[in-house]
Chains A and B, each alone.
Chain A
């Protein structure tokens, strides 16, 4: 009788421990991209998903920019470092646009009204998508704001920046990729 009672208790305890372990391990950021790009490797983007276009109709994705060098910039108007970085990102877009590239902004966790106000305030001319709850950038192993990812002409991730970009980082990262054939 007593041994029969042990079985469900053991199963319940094992399930509880498994649940706790899953909860703990599923919250950490994925560092696969960082490790790959740090070793000079180029990898496929972690997601090919599409997102709603900010201030427009329909959806957009990286696939829309095939053959271009894309600087993906993760930003939000409530993020002060993002606001400080936006003028530099706009400048980078102007340079990229002349050489077959673009910036693709991913506006995260804010209402479209606030995001559009910031676009007007900073005079941003690059396209933007909306990651309403941050689920898209989480797949890129996002750890903070702002962040930038550089996609080469073959659609592979060539660089990851987990901090605000600097002019030096842009100068070292973008021109070599722009010189590569599609």
Chain B
């Protein structure tokens, strides 16, 4: 009886806590972070670097993970300690800007090419359709009329 009374209350508490649990930032893991962090000395991602700098960076990340930091917090701490170049994404100035611009320009060029080709194709189709429907000669027309008339009987 008592349990039956407490059940709705328990469900209510669960319903209230569930969104908070789902929204909480998950704890970071070293393997998940390594491919998004650069070894500053080797210029490669941390997961393929074996240098002393990479080892120290990994140690730093492991300490943060042990403190229960989320991936975003780990990344923020890395930028604070090592600067923005520690993240495996190009900066938005200088030569590295091309890493952002080239894919965008390539995508725009591809879209433009598709639009241009599609436009030409659409213009070419009606003309082809008109050209591909020649008129029947007099004998064929007479035969067609006769056959159609036979169907009507």
Contact = CB atoms under 8 A, between A and B. Distances in A.
A77 B60 CA distance: 14
A26 B95 contact: yes
Interface stretch (B28-36, B51-59, B66-74, B120-128): B51-59
Interface in B23-49: 40-41
Contacts of B84: 133
A75 to B, nearest CB: 13
Contacts of A22: 95
A109 B40 contact: yes
B82 A78 contact: no
Nearest to B82: A132
* Chain B at the A interface: SS class: helix
Nearest to B60: A111
Given A79-B52, A109-B40, A109-B41, A23 B95 contact: yes
A111 B86 CA distance: 11
Contacts of A135: 83, 85
Given A22-B95, A26-B95, A133 B53 contact: no
28 contacts: A19-B98, A22-B95, A23-B95, A26-B95, A76-B53, A77-B56, A78-B53, A78-B55, A79-B52, A80-B52, A109-B41, A109-B53, A110-B53, A111-B81, A111-B82, A112-B81, A113-B60, A114-B56, A114-B60, A132-B81, A132-B83, A133-B83, A133-B84, A133-B85, A133-B86, A134-B40, A134-B41, A135-B85
Interface in A51-104: 76-80
Interface residues of B, number: 16
Given A78-B53, A111-B82, A112-B81, 7 more contacts: A19-B98, A77-B56, A80-B52, A113-B60, A114-B56, A114-B59, A135-B85
A26 B53 CA distance: 23
A133 B52 contact: no
Nearest to B38: A133
A110 B95 contact: no
